[in-house]
Structure 1
Amino acid sequence: MTDLDTDFTSGDAGASLTIPVQCSALRKNGFVVLKGRSCKIVETSTSRTGKHGHVKVSYICPSTHNIDVPNIKRLDCQLVGITDGYLSLLKDNGDLREDLKLPDGDLGKEIESKFESGGEFLVSVLSAMGEECPIAVKPMSS
């Protein structure tokens, strides 16, 4: 018998972080992986060769080719506190997480002002490719 050096004590479900999708199936407000990061599609267009406009990030792909699309998960958590720039979020199962930073810009200001006014609301957290980010706030549903 041989001695196996295989460790089965930990692992994951084997789910892929991305799936290949044909470029012609991509739509506005969807997501793609560009330069190893998950990116939201803000506009798509079909153009003739040599006719490309001015954009922040442009990716040109033949419609018959495949591109990676990230597996996206959205989780709504109740905000219970803000400490040193980090959100304290209560998940549906009762677990408390305190590892997400308060986002910069308008969303962060909106979260702070709603929390300071004493309102109860949910923070939507998007997870993709091992990264998580608060993306929106919405009122608590009764």
Structure 2
Amino acid sequence: MKNSHQPLYRATQTLLRARRANRPAQPLLPPIHLYRRILREHRNLPALQRELGDQYVKNEFRLHRSAENPLHIVGFLTSWQDYLRMITKGDWIDEAMSSEVLQKLSSDQVVQLYELMKETQQFRAGETPDGDNSDTKQ
């Protein structure tokens, strides 16, 4: 009976080592502390990014307040803690989304991401949301 658990134990240990190599072992912050630290870190962002980021963070934490699935909660907190680490180091400017993450997105999330991309491109081009060019206004 003891030998039947060996393969499972070795597989678990291998997965844990691989996960540790990819992500530094940090305990998850409690939701309220994580939420506050993210909003504090947003103070260092440019005004438009801060406004957008603050609204998004507040909305996401509000929507997930009543989550009961432990795996979902851990995934949520882990993702937001990774985000906090990214904006703290300043990596958010040139960060690209991996194809692995894109494949895990739902169709609604893909639509939201596409709409965000369109809005950002319009902003960079100097257009207002109405489609007018801000340079041509008198």
The normalised TM-score by structure 1 is 0.26
Q: TM-score, normalization: structure 2?
A: 0.27
More helix by share: 2
Instruction: Identify, as 1 or 2, the structure richer in strand.
Output: 1
